[in-house]
Amino acid sequence: QSVLTQPPSVSAAPGQKVTISCSGSSPNIGSNLVSWYQQFPGTAPKLLMYDNSKRPSGISDRFSGSRSDTSATLDITGLQTGDEADYYCGTWDYSLDSVVFGGGTKLTVL
Amino acid sequence: EVQLVESGGGLVQPGGSLRLSCVASGFTFSTYWMSWVRQAPGKGLEWVANIKKDGSKIYYVDSVRGRFTISRDNAKNSLYLQMNSLRAEDTAVYYCARDHQGAGNYYTDVWGRGTTVTVSS
């Protein structure tokens, strides 16, 4: 069981918008900034978002992030088939003194 | 080019040991926290441990504390993970990663390609 809770899967049609949620609690999301990672099968994860809503250089502005209280969300607009991947949220948990990740969400672009 | 290259994975029997290495290039290794993150077959990401720039602070996930030891050699731009008393549930791809860690802030912006550890008799 992951400390951060994500839906196992989400899906939407090309061109549409999808939202991936990440639910936590006070010691993690409630107190620390959230990052998001994109992972294609057989490859290493890639940083997609950091500090809740900042995009690293080279990441499309179709990706956006936010945090409210003990939850975070990743929005992807203008969905493309190339966005099909697994997405993970992560943050520091001060009660566990460790990094925690969500269980991951598989995005399918129908 | 910023790069992390892991090595040292392989097949080991339960109860055995293995030492993973990660060589960094393209950035000033000694100015970054570093992590090991693993991913069991078909499963999600699990953070294993991380270490401060100068090695003065170390954190572990509960499941490996007392069995695994993270260390670094800044002179060699290298990160290590000594894994003892290995169990079947330690089977995973192990990624070396560059961290940004501060008060209320954590993220990993550079990942290696990973090295595979299989614990089986």
| pLDDT averaged per 10 residues, chain A (length 110) | 94 97 96 96 96 96 96 97 97 94 96
Contacts of A51 (CB under 8 A, 6+ apart): A33, A35, B105, B107
* Whether pLDDT at B103 is above 80: no
Is the four-CA dihedral A110, A102, B9, A46 of positive or negative sign? positive
Distance (Å) from the alpha carbon of B89 to chain A's nearest alpha carbon = 15
Chain A interface includes B56 (CB < 8 A): no
What does the pLDDT read at residue B102?
77
DSSP letter (8 states) at residue B89: G
Question: If you search the block for the tokens 């190339």, which residue do you land on?
Answer: A82
Contact flag B104-A101 (C-beta cutoff 8 Å): no
What does the pLDDT read at residue B105?
81
Q: Which residues in B lie closer than 8 A to residue A45 (C-beta atoms)?
A: 37, 45, 95, 108, 111
From B44, B100, B101, residue closest to A103, measured CB to CB: B44
pLDDT in tens, B39-63: 999 999 999 999 999 999 999 999 9
**Residue B46 to residue A2: CA distance in whole angstroms:** 9
Rg (CA), chain B: 14
The answer to whether the beta carbons of residues A34 and A28 sit under 8 Å apart is: no
What does the pLDDT read at residue B101?
82
Chain B interface includes A70 (CB < 8 A): no
**Residue A18 to residue B79: CA distance in whole angstroms:** 38
Q: Which residues in A lie closer than 8 A to residue B109 (C-beta atoms)?
A: 47, 50, 56
In this structure, chain B runs to a length of: 121
* Whether pLDDT at B109 is above 90: yes
What does the pLDDT read at residue A60?
96
